[in-house]
Amino acid sequence: MHLKYESIIREPLVDGNKTYHQITEDICAPIEREPSKLWRLGFLMSLSLLGFGAFSIVWEVYWGTGVWNLNKTIGWGWDITNFVWWVGIGHAGTLISAILLLFRQGWRTGVNRAAEAMTIFAVMCAGQFPIWHMGRVWDAFFVLPYGNTRGPLWPNFISPLLWDVFAISTYFTVSLLFWYSGLIPDFATLRDRAQTKFRKMAYGYASFGWAGSAKHWQRHEMLSLVLAGLSTPLVLSVHTIVSFDFATSIVPGWHTTIFPPYFVAGAVFSGFAMVQTLLILTRKILKLEEYITLGHIEAMNKVIVLTGSIVGVAYLTELFIAYYSGVIWEQEAFRLRVLGPYWWAYWGMMLCNVVSPQLFWFKKLRRNVWFTFFMSIIVNIGMWFERFVIIMSLHRDYLPSSWSYYTPSWTEVAFYLGSFGLFFTCYFLFAKYFPVIAIAEIKFILKTSGDNYKKDMEKYEHQENEVFLAEQSHHH
Amino acid sequence: MSIKKFAVAVYDDEAVLFPAVKKVRSAGYKIHDVYTPFAVHGLDVALGQKESDLHIAGFIYGITGTCTALGFMGWIFTTDWPQNFGGKPHFPLPAFIPITFELTVLFAAVGMVLTFCYLNQIMPGVKKHIFHPRQTDDKFVMVIEVNDTNEAETLAMLQSTGAELTETQIAESDWWYGRFDKKEDYEIQQQLA
């Protein structure tokens, strides 16, 4: 019963000659070292970016949303673009941790921790935009259904904007719980290794007193499985609901049934790109190339080329349906997207999202780290353009006198930069103080997918089925 | 809280642990617990533990979320404060689905995690005795409660199962509020003795 067989045709997921203890050493080492100069520099840069964003928000709250260049037709500008963009980025983390867990994809173990962290930070960034767009932000709690003295006047439960409130807050909570429940055993590992008193205390609190009892592990497995089962429809619902913000309106170019699947595919697409950006740097700086292998990068690139193609098909379908519908307003909206004043955003989107990911059909490029890094940034630029293109459909409405051309003000740009500050500040802290790879999960797959263990499988590879079965059943 | 005496066996691979568990159980010993650094599949079966019912709790929490969402929105829109949104019905079930779904997931997830923490008796500030500092790293630790009469015999039996290390420890068998950077009174007394 101790033979864990996996065909040697499958690429190993953990390279090098690893033992359980070596895994612990490798993953805990960056946490137990003094932070490097590079880390300090990056962290300070993120922190100053965050400060700049915070300043722009103070400015916006003091003077009101008028300091943003929103106008009569474009009531949503960079803020909603960035909101949708950040939420989308979050989706890859849940896809990796939940959907790949249900599909029993072993390679998720190398990347799920960092990807889930990315989800949480991205959702935090996303949440800022609608909140500060409220203007009178001190009244933000009006979106919650609480007993009030206005009637009581409840929020409108059939408005997609309120669905968003529920979807995003649920998504954040569930992702956080899922992530943290996986972290508990790893914090216990750090606690029991800790050499300093402070670290022992801090990780002692963080690990909730976890000791690794067999029954607790059994419940932990059950919890992970059910949370994965819950997160899978949840992640699909979140971007579906985000797309409802647009799709349930009657604005030409927005009122389409294709939006939910196309938004979800786009979200996964951009999310995987962001995972690549982060992990290529993380594996390099923290020297984790043996855990986040070229195989991992290639697997994620395959997801990128698939979802990129889905998005491409969706763009073309939109154009065709606009033409085929015979509705002149719809046709005009799409003509303006392609050839109107914002043509550059449309073609930027097409180039970055549809054309360039097709290069990933070449195995050489899929396994090229720096090409992947470059592409991951291109894809995220493209996905930002996609949201911008959709939202800029508003720039011409039915009344030519209100047509306009929108460009963001410095506060909007600063707010966007500030969200990067928030994201990277969190990520830097995570990379320094948290195990960036799920230690316990890597140990779980070591004997099936570790490079050194796979070599032992060679003798079984050419064995006759009958001989193999006879030998193995003998062990029981 | 009760301080007990335990025979502790440390194994360095799950492949040694499994036959050891089998042997110890068939010899009639009651295993207090086995601590592993990661989820070892099949260990719960080997220890004769029944499957966890956590998913059933999750289902109940989920249903509670569904009923809460539908009931609350339905009550507000039909009874408490009916409003007319563009002539739409007062109980628009399809439009209630997104929030109902979100609350189902939220209740199930939060409820399950809290139940998980309750059943395992874990929370920030809780401390438990760690039998071996590497039981969360790479060692597999089997623990059997002993008394003065069967201590030697149990240790001898554990030694024969391929354990890398066997010893007796006097330890708190339950959890308590404490900090991991501090030694407990009973641990200090033991060191003095």
Residue numbers in A near B110 (CB within 8 A): 173, 177
Exposed/middle/buried for A359, CB within 10 Å: 0-12, 13-18, 19+?
A: middle
Bridge partners of B34? B142
Residue A464 predicted with pLDDT over 90: no
Closest Cβ opposite residue B101 in set A185, A223, A237: A237
Please state the domain count of chain A.
1
- Closest C-alpha to B180, from B119, B136, B138: B136
Closest Cβ opposite residue A173 in set B101, B110, B116: B110
CA distance A270 to A90: 9
Residue numbers in A near B121 (CB within 8 A): 209
Residue B68 predicted with pLDDT over 60: yes
CA distance B133 to A305: 45
Co-location of B26 and B81 in the same domain: no
Co-location of B31 and B62 in the same domain: no
CB contact under 8 A, A440 and B37: yes
Residue B103 predicted with pLDDT over 90: yes
Residue A356 predicted with pLDDT over 80: yes
pLDDT digits (tens, 9 = 90+) for A168-202: 999 999 999 999 999 999 999 999 999 999 999 99
Select from B68, B92, B120 the last residue of a domain: B120
Residue numbers in A near B81 (CB within 8 A): 151-154
This prediction has a pTM of 0.93
CA distance A153 to A212: 50
Confidence of residue A1 (pLDDT cuts 50, 70, 90): very low
**What region, left, alpha or beta, does residue A212 occupy, with left being phi > 0 and alpha being psi -120 to 50 degrees?**
left
Unique residue bearing structure tokens 């996986």: A182
Domain-located, residue A474 = no
Residue numbers in B near A243 (CB within 8 A): none
Mean pLDDT of all residues in chain B?
Answer: 91
Domain-located, residue A152 = no
CA distance A242 to A283: 32
Co-location of B133 and B183 in the same domain: yes
Cβ contact B164:B68 at 8 Å: no
How many CB atoms sit inside 10 A of residue A151's CB? 9
Rg (CA), chain A: 24
Residue A282, chain B, CB below 8 Å: the answer is: no
Co-location of B72 and B40 in the same domain: no
Bridge partners of B169? B6
Domain-located, residue A437 = yes
Q: Cα-Cα-Cα-Cα dihedral of A197, A201, A202, A207, to 10°?
A: 130
At residue A415, the pLDDT reads 95
Find the mean pLDDT for residues B2-16.
91
Exposed/middle/buried for A63, CB within 10 Å: 0-12, 13-18, 19+?
A: exposed
Interface of A with B in 159-188 (CB under 8 A): 160, 162-163, 166-167, 170, 173-174, 177-178, 181, 184-185, 188
Q: Which two tokens stand for residue A416?
A: 């966007």
Residue A197, chain B, CB below 8 Å: the answer is: yes
Residue type, B155: L
pLDDT digits (tens, 9 = 90+) for A194-248: 999 999 999 999 999 999 999 999 999 999 999 999 999 999 999 999 999 999 9
Cβ contact A58:A77 at 8 Å: no
At residue A372, the pLDDT reads 94
Domain-located, residue A216 = yes
CB contact under 8 A, B133 and A204: no
Least confident of A88-97, A409-418, A461-470, B86-95: A461-470
- Closest C-alpha to B172, from B120, B138, B126, B110: B126
The tally of CA atoms less than 13 A away on the side-chain side of residue A64 is 2
How many CB atoms sit inside 10 A of residue B102's CB? 27
Co-location of B44 and B130 in the same domain: yes
Please state the domain count of chain B.
2
Residue numbers in B near A154 (CB within 8 A): 76, 80-81
Structural domain boundaries enclosing A191: 20-146+163-457
CB contact under 8 A, B137 and A189: yes
The tally of CA atoms less than 13 A away on the side-chain side of residue A443 is 28
Closest Cβ opposite residue A214 in set B15, B44, B96: B44
Number of residues in chain B: 193
Structural domain boundaries enclosing B161: 3-51+126-192
At residue B110, the pLDDT reads 97
Select from B62, B93, B120 the last residue of a domain: B120
Rg (CA), chain B: 25
Find the mean pLDDT for residues A94-116.
87
Residue A366 predicted with pLDDT over 70: yes
Question: Residues of chain B with pLDDT > 70: what percent?
Answer: 99
pLDDT digits (tens, 9 = 90+) for A259-281: 999 999 999 999 999 999 999 99
Q: Which two tokens stand for residue A114?
A: 């960092």
Least confident of A287-296, A447-456, B92-101: A447-456
At residue A475, the pLDDT reads 56
pLDDT digits (tens, 9 = 90+) for A121-148: 999 999 999 999 998 999 888 888 887 7
At residue A459, the pLDDT reads 76
CATH number of the domain encompassing residue B170: 3.30.70.120
Question: Chain B closest CA to A158's CA: distance in Å?
Answer: 5
Mean pLDDT of all residues in chain A?
Answer: 90
Exposed/middle/buried for B173, CB within 10 Å: 0-12, 13-18, 19+?
A: middle
Unique residue bearing structure tokens 């070599």: A455
Co-location of B99 and B75 in the same domain: yes
Select from B120, B149, B165 the last residue of a domain: B120
Question: Chain B closest CA to A252's CA: distance in Å?
Answer: 20
Co-location of B42 and B59 in the same domain: no
Closest Cβ opposite residue A211 in set B92, B117, B130: B130
Closest Cβ opposite residue B54 in set A152, A185, A226: A226
pLDDT digits (tens, 9 = 90+) for B73-86: 999 989 988 888 88
Find the mean pLDDT for residues A418-423.
96
CA distance B121 to A210: 9
Closest Cβ opposite residue A230 in set B35, B109, B127: B109
At residue A102, the pLDDT reads 85
Nearest CA in chain B to A175: B109
Question: Chain A closest CA to B107's CA: distance in Å?
Answer: 9
Domain-located, residue A123 = yes
